[in-house]
Chains A and B, each alone.
Chain A
């Protein structure tokens, strides 16, 4: 218990220090220095600086992308995939990001086929749009939609009827997309294997039967946690791994 309190205290201290450091030096300078470190091959330093920026509250897809690249250069494939996935939440259509993520995924040893759900097939555009993009699209349409309805209280012209029909259909599609994307983000239970090789056991105990092994960078789904163990899920497979061998993708985004 004491250890946990101490750990929290140091985390808080580090957070405060990072915010203070960024405020003092200016985030632009930190970013510039981090990029310089990267280009000169000082990847550890670059990673620390990029992480400082994120801890200071900066939230931007390019930052996650840069950290992911740095992790990749450091040979931390799992962490690289984790940050690429985080970057995808914010800029899902970025070509460089998608190319690097595909390349990093290609390096993963395990071939895990995540079957597409019906909604993903029906709303195929969801993967290329971020939640905030969908929100703004829906927000604008929502204003137009209710404005037309409001107008129709006073005057029921024919053109406003047809316009209402068209806007209603688009409003429905975009609204459903926004809802699904929001749901997808809220229920995203994906996690990345962090260690080079992880034993997946039949139960939350190191004496339990070894079911199969997973390798760094594989993306799995987290069902629940018990003590120091996590129950993970793959298509047609389940098993327990130690908590420190996986990292939840969504958990690495700064709290809003």
Chain B
């Protein structure tokens, strides 16, 4: 038992040591990559608004104070910092978050950032953010109270597939909780949230409001006039008006559950026009928005047999999923291998934006100067209300004399990837694989699940065997113990009975004493001396006086034997029986 406990303790110690090492490793692993992210919410605000700014430094939990560029036109208030460590799927990340609030001194468009921080002598920089500061809002309507919802559409007239921004602002001067939103969507108008909700302070109709702003992108799918029903927000409000709780005039302290309130925004109307037929390009893909296209060729000079990569990137705001796959026209004496286009999709305050990158590997088959023609893309610009065709610049590819290696030309489509690009296997047909015709496999029946006998033999019988053996051994041990106890109990009685015989000699009595001790104490003594007997009795807890008496009796018997007077002496056994009874009593 002690050995098992010691082992368990050892294992526990090892686990604790491992956990400690694991915890100690966290900061080291977490500080591996440092990166800075600057975030503004909102990105468009009035001069009265308070803008929240967050700088997240990932990869470390401690940094010197960061410096943020572009804040000359703002009053900056520091809101403290918080650090955190995350362990997700065995990946450790640590970060520190600096919070700021900004109030603009003037109107205009400002570039904020990059933020800079120096860690262990190395300078790290963040991204930059653009912030539009507009003149203050002047509401024409009546004062709208302590809580109201305002909906706004970026334009009340739009074209099919044009992206619109639907902005919902909850103005409040009271505390709210459990806010849920119901949007007025239908099949033709679907709402897609743009980024996270923003919370800031603003001045509206000369009053301070806390604003919760959320933006949605709407892309109408069909022409027509749509009435956008009011959006509805359900929440719990905690208004302290008309109540007095003394110094505890706060819903946090009064433990109130709040009142449920449903508020609606005003309905809006949207007129959606069909895309004009006039001027529609033949290959128009339905792309609506504002886009740019650019092309690059790397390298522009190669040897015959080598490959160059043509990259065409289309970027912009709008329904980017409609950016078409541009067809590369065939060029004589150049083999062209197209890569899978890559579409990136994200959101900003202007709505959905993204890019599509297409790559082709160009492998010239002979030397010379090749002209890569312009590639075109058409889209409808709702701002200009016309179709726009954009083109890439034509590019030149210079091919120098070199050795053609037939079809084993390495094709490198990715500029970062230096290993040779293997061609994916083209599937030319589809069918199932054939049947099994060999009897070998079918020869033996395979049971689906184990049958009763199998379960009995392999699962239950080992358990029963073990339990049977265990109990048998325990039973045997118990039997031994019981037999020993019985013998011990009867030892004095047997001794007394034996001593009751007539004409006992010293030799007989010594043998009886030995048997008594053997039976009483579970011993296996072959012969017994007086000294030995006394020592055993003392060890077993018999009083010294009794053991001395027993010793004296045995000593007399020994003397009789060794002096040769054993045959002449007849012992009186009453005293010896009394001593044994006394021993028996003391042993109990």
Binds A, one of B154-162, B270-278, B456-464, B505-513: B456-464
Partner pick for B449 among A39, A57, A69, A185, CB 8 A cutoff: A185
CB contacts (< 8 Å) of A58 on chain B: these are 442, 445
CA distance A35 to B533 in the complex (A): 93
A66 within 8 A of B: yes
Partner pick for B462 among A59, A61, A63, A142, CB 8 A cutoff: A142
* Contact call B449/A132, Cβ cutoff below 8 A: yes
CA distance A149 to B433 in the complex (A): 49
Give the dominant DSSP class at A's interface.
Answer: helix
CA distance A39 to B435 in the complex (A): 9
A86 CB to nearest B CB, Å: 9
* Contact (A131, B449) CB under 8 Å given A58-B442, A60-B442, A62-B442: yes
* Contact call B432/A65, Cβ cutoff below 8 A: no
Partner pick for A132 among B430, B450, B473, CB 8 A cutoff: B450
B283 within 8 A of A: no
* Contact call B459/A142, Cβ cutoff below 8 A: yes
CA distance A182 to B449 in the complex (A): 8
* Contact call A135/B450, Cβ cutoff below 8 A: yes
* Contact call B433/A59, Cβ cutoff below 8 A: no
* Contact (A60, B445) CB under 8 Å given A35-B435, A96-B433: yes
Partner pick for A146 among B449, B462, B473, CB 8 A cutoff: B462
B437 within 8 A of A: yes
A68 CB to nearest B CB, Å: 9
B469 within 8 A of A: yes
CA distance A32 to B441 in the complex (A): 13
B451 within 8 A of A: yes
* Contact call A60/B446, Cβ cutoff below 8 A: yes
* Contact call A31/B432, Cβ cutoff below 8 A: no
A121 within 8 A of B: no
Interface 1/0 per residue, B404-437 and A, CB below 8 Å: 0000000000000000000000000011111111
- Which partner residue on chain A sits nearest B441 by CB separation? A62
* Contact call A147/B449, Cβ cutoff below 8 A: no
Partner pick for B435 among A60, A70, A146, CB 8 A cutoff: A70
A153 within 8 A of B: yes
Interface 1/0 per residue, A128-170 and B, CB below 8 Å: 0011100100110011011101100100000001000000000
Binds B, one of A98-106, A108-116, A193-201, A214-222: A98-106
B245 within 8 A of A: no
CB contacts (< 8 Å) of A149 on chain B: these are 466
Among B444, B446, B447: residue with most chain A CB under 10 A: B446
A28 within 8 A of B: yes
CA distance A59 to B441 in the complex (A): 11
* Contact (A256, B442) CB under 8 Å given A70-B435, A99-B433, A139-B458: no
* Contact call B466/A100, Cβ cutoff below 8 A: no
B465 within 8 A of A: yes
B322 within 8 A of A: no
CB contacts (< 8 Å) of A70 on chain B: these are 435
* Contact call B466/A146, Cβ cutoff below 8 A: yes
CB contacts (< 8 Å) of B454 on chain A: these are 135, 139
CA distance A91 to B445 in the complex (A): 12
- Which partner residue on chain B sits nearest A57 by CB separation? B445
CA distance A70 to B437 in the complex (A): 13
- How many A-B pairs have beta carbons closer than 8 Å: the answer is 95
Chain B interface bracket (under 10, 10 to 19, 20 to 34, 35 or more): 20 to 34
* Contact call B442/A31, Cβ cutoff below 8 A: yes
CB contacts (< 8 Å) of A147 on chain B: these are 462
* Contact (A104, B447) CB under 8 Å given A60-B441, A150-B466: no
B441 CB to nearest A CB, Å: 5
A92 CB to nearest B CB, Å: 12
* Contact call A59/B466, Cβ cutoff below 8 A: no
CB contacts (< 8 Å) of A63 on chain B: these are 442
A90 within 8 A of B: yes
A81 CB to nearest B CB, Å: 12
Among B431, B458, B465, B473: residue with most chain A CB under 10 A: B458
Partner pick for B432 among A72, A130, A139, CB 8 A cutoff: A72
Interface 1/0 per residue, A65-80 and B, CB below 8 Å: 1100110100000000
Chain A contacts with B in 174-231, Cβ cutoff 8 A: 182, 185
* Contact call A100/B462, Cβ cutoff below 8 A: no
* Contact call A150/B469, Cβ cutoff below 8 A: yes
CB contacts (< 8 Å) of A59 on chain B: these are 445-448
B447 CB to nearest A CB, Å: 6
B294 CB to nearest A CB, Å: 38
* Contact call A143/B458, Cβ cutoff below 8 A: yes
CB contacts (< 8 Å) of A256 on chain B: these are 447-449, 451
B86 within 8 A of A: no
CB contacts (< 8 Å) of A150 on chain B: these are 465-466, 469
CA distance A66 to B434 in the complex (A): 8
CA distance A66 to B431 in the complex (A): 15
CB contacts (< 8 Å) of A19 on chain B: these are none
A248 within 8 A of B: no
CA distance A21 to B390 in the complex (A): 77
* Contact call A135/B448, Cβ cutoff below 8 A: no
* Contact call A35/B437, Cβ cutoff below 8 A: yes
CA distance A103 to B431 in the complex (A): 8
CA distance A35 to B441 in the complex (A): 14
* Contact call A161/B7, Cβ cutoff below 8 A: yes
Among B435, B451, B466: residue with most chain A CB under 10 A: B435
CA distance A60 to B436 in the complex (A): 12
A253 within 8 A of B: yes
CA distance A256 to B448 in the complex (A): 8
* Contact call B432/A103, Cβ cutoff below 8 A: yes
A89 within 8 A of B: yes
Name 20 interchain pairs, CB-CB below 8 A, sorted by A: A35-B435, A59-B448, A60-B444, A62-B436, A62-B442, A66-B436, A69-B432, A70-B435, A89-B448, A90-B446, A103-B430, A103-B432, A104-B432, A132-B449, A135-B458, A142-B462, A145-B462, A146-B462, A149-B466, A256-B448
Nearest 6 interchain pairs by C-beta: A139-B458, A146-B462, A66-B435, A62-B436, A35-B437, A135-B450
| Sample of 19 further A-B pairs with CB below 8 A, known A103-B430, A150-B469 | A39-B437, A59-B445, A60-B445, A62-B442, A69-B432, A90-B448, A96-B433, A131-B449, A131-B450, A132-B447, A132-B448, A145-B462, A146-B462, A146-B465, A149-B466, A150-B465, A150-B466, A256-B449, A256-B451
